[in-house]
Amino acid sequence: MIGLVDRVRGGLYGLAAGDALGATVEFMGRDEIRRKYGVLRDIVGGGWLNLRPGEWTDDTEMALAVAEGILADPEEPVPHIGEAFLRWRATDPPDIGGTVRAAFQAYDRLGNWHRAAEAVHARTGMTAGNGALMRTLPLAFAYPGPVELYVRCMEVARMTHWDPEAGLTCFLYCRAAQHVVLGAGLVDALDRAVEEMLEVAPAGKMSRAAAALAGKLEGVMAWPEDRLRPTGYTVDTLACALWCAANAESFEEAVVRAVNLGGDADTVGAVTGGLAGVMHGYGAIPARWVDKFNRAQRERLDAAAEGLARLAEKIFV
Ligand SMILES: [Mg+2]
């Protein structure tokens, strides 16, 4: 029996570990990874960002920003999450994603996150990247599903990613994680989350997008592995994460499979690690991975996990 605190902590540490492991091979192809590493199983740093072993990237930073914003005010998290995003930007990180960068610039002009993201979407038509999905997990511990969770996933995704698929994939991911916490297996958890998405998505554009998304993910956990596409498209990323989490016996195996797909490996690793961490709990994360995080990193993860676990105790009764 995995306790709630262990699952929340497992989700956050799992996300961070998947990010730190995958960053080494971000933008590499599967064959290239195989030639260079065989199977990448250890957090060794490097990669295009030239990280020290254990250093994480924008995925974990933005997920912690969401957690910190929720904990600042669970009733109205968006302004606080926005402030945390801007604090992170002020550190001049090298790896701000394209959609997020555009949304930050639009926010500077407009002073409103949702108007900023909508403006970026109107201009580019391309805001279904995985930059919202990679940071969404804290919402699963703070807001009861399906109805409030749906609203919160949309409002937080739409701070930067206006496309309906961005918010809808966040909902499926968070709601599936909640069903896992409540005792479901992952296949059932996703089935229920999809049904609930179809019920709660408002009629019109959102319900059409939800129906299309349900079709795109049909039977995902039984797909042949070569159908997985570790791209930056949020639906592809969610499919990879669900497949890897479902087709693995352990936390470690799920995350190793995910990052060794290559491509957007840090984000696919983070999204997989978050879900697998909820499934298997903190105790299942290899100590040799956790040991790579320094004290400051662990303090940030622990503070977020403790705060979110307190909120989670209220919604998982
Ligand atoms: Mg990253």
46: CA distance to ligand 1 center in Å? 13
Strand-pair partners of 206: none
> What pLDDT is attached to residue 1?
84
Maximum CA pair distance of the chain? 50
| Domain definitions of the chain by residue range | 4-315
- Cβ contacts of residue 251 below 8 Å, gap of 6+? 10, 14, 273, 276, 277, 279, 280, 284, 285, 286
Query: How many angstroms is it from 57 CA to the middle of ligand 1?
Result: 4
State the distance from the centre of ligand 1 to the C-alpha of 43, rounded, in angstroms.
Answer: 15
C-alpha 129/C-alpha 108 separation (Å) is 21
pTM (2 d.p.): 0.98
**Distance from residue 202's CA to the centre of ligand 1 (Å):** 32
**Gap from CA of 317 to ligand 1 centroid (Å):** 34
**Whole-angstrom distance, CA of residue 208 vs CA of residue 253:** 35
The alpha carbon of 198 and the centre of ligand 1 are apart by a number of angstroms equal to 30
CA distance 173 to 184: 14
What are the helix (H) ranges across the chain?
4-22, 30-37, 58-72, 77-89, 98-110, 113-124, 138-142, 147-157, 164-181, 186-200, 205-216, 234-246, 251-259, 265-280, 287-290, 295-315
Arch. (CATH architecture) of 4-315: Orthogonal Bundle (1.10)
CB 207: neighbour CB atoms within 10 A? 16
What is the 271 CA–ligand 1 centroid distance (Å)?
11
Ligand 1 centroid to 217 CA: how many Å? Answer: 24
Between the CA of 63 and the centroid of ligand 1 the distance, in Å, is 11
> How many angstroms is it from 97 CA to the middle of ligand 1?
8
- pLDDT tens string, the chain, 317 residues long: the values are 899 999 999 999 999 999 999 999 999 999 999 999 999 999 999 999 999 999 999 999 999 999 999 999 999 999 999 999 999 999 999 899 999 999 999 999 999 999 999 999 999 999 999 999 999 999 999 999 999 999 999 999 999 999 999 999 999 999 999 999 999 999 999 999 999 999 999 999 999 999 999 999 999 999 999 999 999 999 999 999 999 999 999 999 999 999 999 999 999 999 999 999 999 999 999 999 999 999 999 999 999 999 999 999 999 98
- Distance from the CA of 23 to the center of ligand 1, in angstroms? 7
Residue 159 structure tokens: 């701070």
Contacts of 30 (CB under 8 A, 6+ apart): 260, 261, 262
| Token duo for residue 45 | 């740093």
Is the bond into 224 cis (omega within 30 degrees of 0)?
no
Are 304 and 138 in contact, with CB atoms under 8 Å apart?
yes
Rounded Cα distance between 260 and 91, Å, is 30
Give 95 Cα–ligand 1 centroid separation in angstroms: 7
Compute, in angstroms, the gap from residue 30 CA to the centroid of ligand 1: 18
